[in-house]
Amino acid sequence: MNKIGLSARPTLELVDDFIERKVRERGEAMDRTGEFDRDLLDEAASLGLTGMLFDDSLKPDLSSMPLAHDMAERLAAVCAPLAMQIGVLRIVGYLLARYATQDVQDRWLKSTTEGKTYGSFALTEPHAGTDLRSLSTVAVRSGDTYLVNGRKCWVGFAPCAAYAIVLCKEGSAARDAKTLALVVDMESPGARGVWGPELSGFRGMPNGELFFENVTVPVENALRVEGFDGMMDGLNMARIEAAAYACGLLRGALEEAVYRASTRKAFGGKIADLPSIQMKLGRMRAAYHTARELTLKACRSYMEGRGGDQDLISIAKMTASDLARLHTDEAMQIFGAAGVTLHSRVERLHRDSKATQIFDGTSEIHETMVGRRLVSAFERHSGKDFIDQLA
Ligand SMILES: Cc1cc2nc3c(=O)[nH]c(=O)nc-3n(C[C@H](O)[C@H](O)[C@H](O)COP(=O)(O)OP(=O)(O)OC[C@H]3O[C@@H](n4cnc5c(N)ncnc54)[C@H](O)[C@@H]3O)c2cc1C
């Protein structure tokens, strides 16, 4: 196995410099056009951002996860789709490194960690979003291959992925059918990826649909883990990444709101001197702090292994994204009419924050899962000390 040669690991200073040199301006342009800026992702990858969660032998190494999330936060504050592009490549790379056969790793892992090859993480279907058990992409085994039929939607990198890690049912679409995660070569006959509808948030993230019509996939391309479990491991990592993007959107809202409040004059003074504006800023600051702390806690739990603490991950993801939506709205309010100008930064942060409440599990499903586990903790500990049993 070739070494990736990441002895020079990226630093926050390097990322800050990249942001000021390129990302801030390109991020604005990406939002206007909705086009994927490959050159920007190439430079991010050349700085080592796509390879951060791997050691020099391409084994998963999560020790730099908190730093990776600090970087994702800073990038998301100025260009959320770039943060997401990097995040998706880290997640598919992690799944390959952890669960794929050596042959599959040899084919795609190194180039993924280097940002030269794109992989999709494909769960959602037109009739299976939150309710993933109802998915109907089916892989039927015949000798050494699977025959795959189905369709995935809203998938990152779908229009340009070299491969996709696809959650399928084995044999039939029955609700309780066994699942498997197949690494599908998107150049296989019958496989294709296309752009989906134009999105209002994370514009510039190539997102779309994957179609599989009688696609033959070698048996060894299955991840060596039960499909649903393996994808949940990736999804938990994605949820913590999503929380970090939301922290970035809060960071951007704070930067913009404090600047505007301190420079906008009304009634002979700065609007920042008005108690009602200071209260908004105070809440926004508290929200940013809360979201960061929760994200870090979720991240630490993931680093400990076994997929992390599901409660902490859900709480971080839903809280950070809901707070991002609330406070990017407040930031727009502080801007007055200028805040509702299409493609202004606060207006973009607000659109991006809406998407964070939807992908990687909606806020509703996270609150439901946390609530369900709370009730079950109460029942398990006969009511008495159940609060102390929670993380
Ligand atoms: C920018 C973006 C990027 C994405 N990237 C990917 C990707 O790379 N790969 C991928 O596979 N998918 C991706 N998705 C899809 C995303 O994960 C799904 O949109 C999400 O899981 C929700 O599914 P849905 O859109 O079908 O909504 P639905 O499941 O139809 O939900 C509709 C509404 O019903 C609510 N609801 C549904 N069930 C319940 C329940 N049991 N309890 C309470 N409320 C419920 C939901 O909260 C929501 O408000 C992406 C989406 C976006 C917007």
Find the CATH number of the domain harbouring 177.
Answer: 2.40.110.10
Residue 2 lies in a domain: no
Instruction: Let me know whether 39 and 74 are in one domain.
Output: yes
Closest CA relative to residue 117, chosen from 19, 60, 41: 41
Nearest residue (by CA) to ligand 1, atom 44, is 364
Q: How far is CA 21 from the centre of its chain?
A: 24
Instruction: Let me know whether 281 and 383 are in one domain.
Output: yes
* CB 335 within 8 Å of CB 346: yes
Instruction: Let me know whether 265 and 357 are in one domain.
Output: yes
Q: Which of 225, 246, 271 is the last residue of a domain?
A: 225
Q: What is the pLDDT of residue 315?
A: 98
CATH of the domain at 21: 1.10.540.10
Instruction: Let me know whether 269 and 299 are in one domain.
Output: yes
Residue 154 lies in a domain: yes
Q: Which of 225, 260, 281 is the last residue of a domain?
A: 225
Unique residue bearing structure tokens 């948030």:
201
User: Residue 39 is encoded by which pair of tokens?
Assistant: 């050159």
Q: What is the pLDDT of residue 381?
A: 79
Atom of ligand 1 nearest to the CA of 364: 47
Instruction: Let me know whether 212 and 257 are in one domain.
Output: no
Rounded average pLDDT per 10-residue block, the chain, 391 residues? 54 98 98 98 98 96 97 98 98 98 98 98 98 98 98 98 98 98 98 98 98 98 98 98 99 98 97 98 98 98 93 98 98 98 98 98 98 90 74 63
Instruction: Let me know whether 123 and 261 are in one domain.
Output: no
Atom of ligand 1 nearest to the CA of 128: 26
Unique residue bearing structure tokens 């134009």:
198
236-255 pLDDT, tens digit each = 999 999 999 999 999 999 99
Integer Cα distance of 317 and 291 in angstroms:
9
Q: What is the pLDDT of residue 371?
A: 96
Instruction: Let me know whether 203 and 271 are in one domain.
Output: no
CATH of the domain at 291: 1.20.140.10
Instruction: Let me know whether 245 and 318 are in one domain.
Output: yes
Residue 178 lies in a domain: yes
Q: What is the pLDDT of residue 5?
A: 45
Q: How far is CA 46 from the centre of its chain?
A: 20
Instruction: Let me know whether 266 and 384 are in one domain.
Output: yes
User: Taking CB atoms and a 6 Å cutoff, what residues make up the pocket around ligand 1?
Assistant: 121-124, 129-131, 154-156, 199, 202, 207, 355, 358-360, 362, 364-365, 368
Model's pTM, two decimal places? 0.97
Q: What is the pLDDT of residue 8?
A: 62
Instruction: Let me know whether 61 and 166 are in one domain.
Output: no
Residue 17 lies in a domain: yes
Atom of ligand 1 nearest to the CA of 124: 11
Taking CB atoms within 8 Å and a gap of at least 24, the contacts of 357-361 are 357/318, 357/321, 357/322, 357/325, 359/154, 359/242, 360/235, 360/238, 360/239, 360/241, 360/242, 360/317, 361/130, 361/235, 361/239, 361/314, 361/317
What is the identity of the amino acid at 110? K
Residue 1 lies in a domain: no
Query: Which one of 130, 155, 210 would you pick to mutate in the ligand 1 pocket, going by the greatest count of ligand atoms within 8 A of its CB?
Result: 130
Query: Which one of 202, 210, 358 would you pick to mutate in the ligand 1 pocket, going by the greatest count of ligand atoms within 8 A of its CB?
Result: 358
What is the tally of structural domains in the chain?
A: 3
CA of 66 to the centre of ligand 1 (A): 26
Q: What is the pLDDT of residue 293?
A: 98
Closest CA relative to residue 235, chosen from 175, 179, 310, 293: 310
Residue 6 lies in a domain: no
CA of 130 to the centre of ligand 1 (A): 5
Q: Which of 78, 113, 148 is the last residue of a domain?
A: 113
Residue 4 lies in a domain: no
Nearest residue (by CA) to ligand 1, atom 30, is 129
CA of 368 to the centre of ligand 1 (A): 14
Q: What is the pLDDT of residue 208?
A: 98
Instruction: Let me know whether 196 and 210 are in one domain.
Output: yes
- The domain in which residue 344 lies consists of 228-389
Instruction: Let me know whether 187 and 70 are in one domain.
Output: no
Residue 5 lies in a domain: no
